[in-house]
Amino acid sequence: MNTKRKDRVQRILLIDDCEEDRARVRSALMQGAPERRYHFLEADNGESGLELCLNQSDPIDCVIVDLHMPRLSGNDFLEQIRRPTGVPMIPIVVLTGSTMNNDAGESLQLGAQDYITKDSIYPSVLFRVVDNAIERHELLKEVHESRQSADAANQAKSSLVGSISHEIRTPMTAVLGICELLLESDLSVDQEELVRTMRDNGQYLVEILNDLLDLSKLEAGKLEVDEEAFELRQLFARSIELMRVRAKENKTTLSLDFDESLPAVVSADPIRVRQVVLNLISNAIKFCPGGDVNVRVRTQADKPSNPFFLVEVVDNGCGIPRHDLERIFLPFIQSETKGKAKTGGGTGLGLAICRRLVMLMGGSMHVESEVDQGSTFSFTVPLRPAEMPAPAESERPPLSASIEELLQDCKFLIAEDTAATQMILKRIIEAAGGKTDIVASGVELLDRVRSQPNEFTAVITDIQMPEMDGLEATEKIRQFNSTIPIVVLTADAVSETKQQASAAGANDVLTKPIVRRDLLETLARYCDIECDSDCN
């Protein structure tokens, strides 16, 4: 690098309101490296110096700027020159009259590569300070470009996962919908077994998609936890009940040991706590056929000043080799004991996601295990006692009649461009007693609601459609019709999409693949409201 500097003219910009100081800097550089050729540009204030930086056709190798100047100080100059990337476009050395290092600390934080005090402008020092500043700036640019490339790759990966999620969720709506319709019909025992197997594997595919989406958001730093008050014991009791069928199939005994001295209501993210608990219980059952799985919940005793609640999932299954105890928390990594599970498989994402979720909630996750003895997976979450809020007025009351009774004579407008999803929605609704009409785009939806404002009990619209998407159609409908209920269907299982739908004016958002019961219950509520209005 030094050879290159000798062979060409080094362009240095001096910004200082004191002509004498600029002369001292010029002299020190030329005396310190007499074999080097310099071309000096000069400005007596920050504004003029900034203009020279921005308008020079030939690149400037280094800027030496005084910290204290009228009109635009050295730090103000740095603020301007580092936009928009946060990294100064040119190496900067700050010149300060203070002998105290604190004076230049802010400058270094703003991106200056180095500083030198005016009483240290020596020929043997200054040219080396400039050389080092240029080298550090080159390294900083490389790091910044690498970070930008990594961020762009992460963003591209997140977009890809989101796109794959959408493309798979849409056909899975048809597959799982057909399974539900078939299970409602008269099937032989063998046929029912085949359909249930297809449905269960379809649901497993959706779980994998959810894991990929969660991991992608965690790696991109876009997944957030939402704290709310919930009943702690009820969450664990319901989780245990939900897993009893799987435990029974694996001939595994499942039990809960809950410390009753814990607060009845706590504040945390119940959805994420439940996700972690279900994953750990599911793993324990899978690797403990014919054994025992015990879920223990208690206060962490060693931290009275900063309390946590501790959850332990203990099994007496096949155990995990010691060299795998940390590896299993890495994405796509599974233990050697996978082959000992009664129901093998899995992506190796569950534990990686669980540990990151727990850390996001302010806790930690650990494992202890012995081969052929069993495993104990434990995690902590900050223990914050809370009170349940009073029921909101908008909280949904129970239905006044059965879904089938409420859907009688109710007509729904479906906006969906996929023929398979059109068919599934039509069959599900009409099988329950409702009536349907179908359009294939947002434009058709808008025209139909405008021309037949009182024809439909509710609108069901997909988001992604040709000509005009469901969100745009919803916004336009709300401009002339504020009362008709709108249910938005989305294949994007992210909270941002749900927030966008709500902001557009949607009453409800359902994620594909559509769960038959959820769809019918949502629609039945609007029939119930319509019935109450007609009766009154």
Measured CA distances, 249 to 57, 252, 257, 276, 376 (Å):
75, 8, 22, 21, 22
* Neighbouring residues of 432: CB distance < 8 A, sequence distance ≥ 6: 403, 404, 407, 520
- On whether the CB atoms of residues 436 and 425 are closer than 8 A, the answer is yes
Q: What is the pLDDT of residue 215?
A: 78
User: What tokens appear for 124 in the block?
Assistant: 């043997």
Whether the model clears a pTM of 0.75, i.e. scores above it, the answer is no
Strand partners, 374: 370
In this structure, how many other beta carbons lie within 10 angstroms of the beta carbon of residue 251?
12
Beta strand 37-43 with 9-15 is parallel
Quote the CA–CA distance of 458 and 165 in Å, as a whole number: 27
Q: What is the pLDDT of residue 99?
A: 57
Q: What is the pLDDT of residue 411?
A: 95
Residue with tokens 């989305």: 490
Residue with tokens 């988001």: 463
Quote the CA–CA distance of 319 and 181 in Å, as a whole number: 41
User: What tokens appear for 369 in the block?
Assistant: 């295990």
Q: What is the pLDDT of residue 394?
A: 46
Cis status of the peptide bond prior to 171, with omega within 30 of 0:
no
User: What tokens appear for 531 in the block?
Assistant: 């019935």
pLDDT tens, the chain, 536 aa long: 455 555 578 999 999 999 999 999 999 999 988 888 899 999 999 899 999 988 888 889 999 999 888 788 888 898 888 888 778 889 999 998 765 556 678 888 888 999 888 888 899 889 999 999 999 999 888 888 888 887 777 777 767 766 777 678 778 888 888 898 899 889 999 999 999 889 888 888 888 877 877 877 787 777 788 888 999 999 999 999 989 988 998 999 999 999 999 999 999 999 899 999 999 999 999 999 999 999 999 998 666 667 889 999 999 999 999 988 888 888 767 766 555 554 555 566 789 889 999 999 999 999 999 999 999 999 999 989 998 876 554 456 778 889 999 999 899 999 999 898 899 999 999 999 999 999 999 999 999 999 998 999 999 999 988 889 999 999 999 999 999 999 999 876 556 777 889 999 999 999 888 888 899 999 999 997 766 555 55
Q: What is the pLDDT of residue 347?
A: 63
Quote the CA–CA distance of 534 and 28 in Å, as a whole number: 92
Q: Among 281, 280, 273, which residue's Cα sits nearest to residue 308?
A: 273
Quote the CA–CA distance of 79 and 86 in Å, as a whole number: 8
Q: What is the largest CA-CA distance in the chain?
A: 100
Quote the CA–CA distance of 485 and 507 in Å, as a whole number: 6
Alpha-carbon torsion angle 514, 518, 520, 524, nearest 10? -140
Residue with tokens 């155990």: 319
